[in-house]
Chain A
Amino acid sequence: MITVKQLIRSFKDGSRETRVLKGIDLIVKNGEFVAIIGRSGAGKSTLLYQMSLLDEPSAGDVIVDGHSTNEMSTDEETQFRLFNFGYVFQDYALLPELTALENVVLPLIMQGMPIAAAEEKATAALRRVGLDGRLDNLPSQLSGGEQQRVSISRAIAHTPHVLFADEPTANLDKESSAVVMQLFAELHAAGQTIIMVTHEDDFARFAERIVKIDDGMIVSDERVTIRNRPLESGV
């Protein structure tokens, strides 16, 4: 479970201070699929970065499974992210000189897994997203949709507690977006906690809960009564 308490994030530009998050309170339970939506500049990605420990809040706290993250050093945060979180970025964020398999293997090796075992696990993760035929391809040899699926494999290979996704379909065509959302739906069905930022309402409705942010504050937090499914939505 992730608990966000009175989270504030400000940015200083000279003497001017811009407060992007203005005291957010939010609880995400294990196994939930939460979509954070809002217009551009509302602060949704900034909230995701705070919750995923990629950025430090100006005030407030993020508590993961009862552990306050305020006291963590940078190295401890990195270690924490390695074992507990998975990330899917808008632009896939794959390392260009590593093959699809190596991109997925790398965090597993960092966890201390022997290379052979890591490769086995990574292969299984890539097979799960339908890329077992592209293991040795570099990112430049893959389509945008395929790269995003590699990114998802990397995020889930070590079975993280929480999967964070920042606009995962923003750079994809409709067909690839549908495949990605299908994957998220399957992962959620298997019990994966997912926190996803999106500005597309259609994709947000794949989640079971939609949190809307505007001007750095939560303006609505609703359960989705009629959820989209890829086949139903026709995307």
Chain B
Amino acid sequence: MLSLLNIRVGFYLALRQIRRASRWTTTLIVFVMLLTFLNLVVVTGVLVGIIQGISNQYRTQETGDVVVSSLDSKDFIENSPQIIALVKSLPGVAQVSSRYIAGGTIEANYFSRDQKEKPNETGASVDGINVADENAFSNLSTHVAEGSYLSSSDYDTVLLGSQLIDRYSFGKMPGLTPLKNVYPGTKIRLTLGGHTREVVVKGIVSVPANSPLAARVFMPEGEVRELIGRDDYAVNEIATLLLPGTDPIAFRDLLLRSGVGANAKVQTFEDATPNGVAEIKDTFAMIGNAIGSIGLVVAAITIFIVIFINAVTRRKFIGILKGIGISGEAIEISYIFQSIFYAAIGSSLGLLFLYGFLVPYIAVHPIVLPISNAIIVAPVASTLLRILLLVVATIIAGYLPARMIVRKNTLDSILGRT
């Protein structure tokens, strides 16, 4: 019977058994629990973090916290200069980048190719950017792996996203034929707004395949404006990063109340996130949970074996305890307390490692994967739930072998009879 007295005696026994157990054994079990905890939390966290990394890339490199874009019925944002001025004047704004975006084609190796060969060309989105604003917004210059970043005085000069370059591209995307033999200084043909120009590749932007920067051509905004004939300075996109603590929804609503909605779509990053991203995150979380639960079973089996071996080798002493009148429940509870101790110490160390080092470190130094720069997504509530799961699994794994041994005949245990 689970009584306070049995719990008290069980705790008394467990405390002393833990205190005087082999330090190596205790360290090993705690280490297994630590790894199990990390397996439960980090595997799921990284899998979700891959998608979160993609989302983050879109936020920091494309939309910002609030993005103003052209209405579905328009190709550009009317009254762009006024809207840009308004956005920049509002409190809570960290960076603003306005972009001219147009579809174009680029072609390489047009001098050396045989006339019968298919041209080495590909379609691409051409972004006309304010060189300084864009760099402040997306840190574009830090992603330039070869060559150098644009300057505002550059003309007939472009940066190419790595997915447009054959030696960087990740797989073969339909409709995209990456350019071969293109390096900084290589001349390529750019066709935009019905004009074809020969431009020089100034640099190559190396980013993960799913980055919004990956398949773009960047040019200073003045030249793009000229090529697409946008004399009215009407841009296609105004992306705004907000200062920490500024509510994007409130900012969006402020813009809408200011009448921006009449000329453009105003969306928060969440609004602009494509449908299905949440489902992909959930899917990855489910896969992580499935992998994590295997780890949980492995941990439970490990604890079972450890407690079972402990109980079997201590069978004589368990018999003696029963012989001198210690109840079976008290003995079982002592093993449960030991299991809880291992799980609690392992999880506590795991928590310290996770939130004290791993999560902040990976947030600053993401795991560079071909499809995104992954971070670890580990919300406290779900981590606590996993700890609870681990403790429950450990309690069961500790209780069962103890129960098996305690139920054996007292005298057989004392005498070591089978």
Write the A49-88 contact mask toward B (1 if CB under 8 angstroms, else 0): 1000011000000000000000000110011011101010
CA of A7 to CA of B20, assembled, Å: 43
A146 at the interface (CB under 8 A from B): no
A167 at the interface (CB under 8 A from B): no
Query: Contact at A154–B21, with CB atoms within 8 Å?
Result: no
Query: Contact at A79–B325, with CB atoms within 8 Å?
Result: yes
Query: Contact at B5–A95, with CB atoms within 8 Å?
Result: no
Chain A's closest residue to B18 (CB) is A97
Shortest CB distance B227–A (Å): 83
Query: Contact at A106–B12, with CB atoms within 8 Å?
Result: yes
CA of A110 to CA of B321, assembled, Å: 11
Q: Which residues in chain B, 170-227, are within 8 Å of chain A measured between CB atoms? A: none
B353 at the interface (CB under 8 A from A): no
CA of A102 to CA of B325, assembled, Å: 15
Shortest CB distance B317–A (Å): 6
Write the A86-111 contact mask toward B (1 if CB under 8 angstroms, else 0): 01010001011110001000110111
Shortest CB distance A108–B (Å): 10
CA of A93 to CA of B320, assembled, Å: 7
Shortest CB distance A152–B (Å): 13
CA of A115 to CA of B8, assembled, Å: 10
Chain A's closest residue to B407 (CB) is A74
CA of A93 to CA of B328, assembled, Å: 17
A234 at the interface (CB under 8 A from B): no
CA of A55 to CA of B19, assembled, Å: 33
Query: Contact at B321–A95, with CB atoms within 8 Å?
Result: yes
Within 8 Å by CB of A83, from B317, B323, B325, B328, lies B325
B9 — which chain A residues lie within 8 A by C-beta? 106, 109-110
Write the B1-21 contact mask toward A (1 if CB under 8 angstroms, else 0): 000010011001100110111
CA of A65 to CA of B397, assembled, Å: 42
Shortest CB distance B334–A (Å): 11
Query: Contact at B5–A93, with CB atoms within 8 Å?
Result: no
Listed residue (B20, B323, B325, B414) with the most chain A CB atoms within 10 angstroms of its CB: B325
Within 8 Å by CB of B330, from A97, A98, A110, lies A110
Query: Contact at A110–B325, with CB atoms within 8 Å?
Result: yes
A14 at the interface (CB under 8 A from B): no
Query: Contact at B325–A54, with CB atoms within 8 Å?
Result: no
Chain B's closest residue to A91 (CB) is B316
B325 — which chain A residues lie within 8 A by C-beta? 78-79, 81-83, 85, 107, 110-111
Chain A's closest residue to B330 (CB) is A110
B122 at the interface (CB under 8 A from A): no
CA of A98 to CA of B12, assembled, Å: 10
Shortest CB distance B107–A (Å): 80
Within 8 Å by CB of A54, from B17, B316, B414, lies B414
Query: Contact at B411–A96, with CB atoms within 8 Å?
Result: no
CA of A109 to CA of B5, assembled, Å: 8
B326 at the interface (CB under 8 A from A): yes
Query: Contact at A49–B411, with CB atoms within 8 Å?
Result: yes
Q: Which residues in chain A, 125-147, are within 8 Å of chain B measured between CB atoms? A: 138
Query: Contact at A97–B323, with CB atoms within 8 Å?
Result: no
B411 — which chain A residues lie within 8 A by C-beta? 49, 54-55
Knowing A81-B323, A81-B325, A95-B317, the reply to whether A102 touches B330 (Cβ < 8 A) is: no
Query: Contact at B410–A82, with CB atoms within 8 Å?
Result: no
Query: Contact at B327–A97, with CB atoms within 8 Å?
Result: no
Query: Contact at B414–A97, with CB atoms within 8 Å?
Result: no
Knowing A55-B411, A97-B20, the reply to whether A78 touches B327 (Cβ < 8 A) is: yes
CA of A95 to CA of B19, assembled, Å: 14
B252 at the interface (CB under 8 A from A): no
Shortest CB distance B246–A (Å): 58
Chain B's closest residue to A94 (CB) is B320
CA of A24 to CA of B227, assembled, Å: 115
CA of A196 to CA of B175, assembled, Å: 95
Write the B376-418 contact mask toward A (1 if CB under 8 angstroms, else 0): 0000000000000000000000000000000001110010000
Knowing A55-B411, A102-B16, A106-B13, the reply to whether A87 touches B327 (Cβ < 8 A) is: no
Shortest CB distance B289–A (Å): 39
Knowing A54-B411, A54-B414, the reply to whether A107 touches B17 (Cβ < 8 A) is: no
CA of A55 to CA of B8, assembled, Å: 27
B322 at the interface (CB under 8 A from A): yes
Shortest CB distance A225–B (Å): 35
B324 at the interface (CB under 8 A from A): yes
Query: Contact at B5–A112, with CB atoms within 8 Å?
Result: yes
CA of A138 to CA of B21, assembled, Å: 13
Shortest CB distance A78–B (Å): 6
CA of A89 to CA of B409, assembled, Å: 17
Chain A's closest residue to B325 (CB) is A82
Query: Contact at B17–A97, with CB atoms within 8 Å?
Result: yes
- CB-CB nearest 5 A-B residue pairs: A82-B325, A97-B20, A55-B411, A93-B320, A81-B325
Question: Chain A interface (Cβ within 8 Å of chain B)?
Answer: 49, 54-55, 74-75, 78-79, 81-83, 85, 87, 89, 93, 95-98, 102, 106-107, 109-112, 115, 138, 154
Interchain Cβ contacts under 8 Å between A and B, 27 examples: A49-B411, A54-B323, A54-B410, A55-B411, A74-B410, A78-B322, A79-B325, A82-B326, A89-B320, A93-B316, A93-B320, A95-B320, A95-B321, A97-B17, A102-B16, A106-B9, A106-B321, A106-B326, A107-B324, A107-B325, A109-B9, A109-B12, A110-B5, A110-B325, A110-B327, A115-B12, A138-B20
Known contacts A93-B323, A107-B326; 20 additional CB pairs below 8 A are: A49-B411, A54-B410, A74-B328, A75-B328, A78-B325, A82-B325, A89-B320, A93-B320, A95-B321, A96-B317, A97-B17, A97-B21, A106-B9, A106-B13, A106-B326, A107-B324, A110-B5, A112-B5, A115-B12, A154-B324
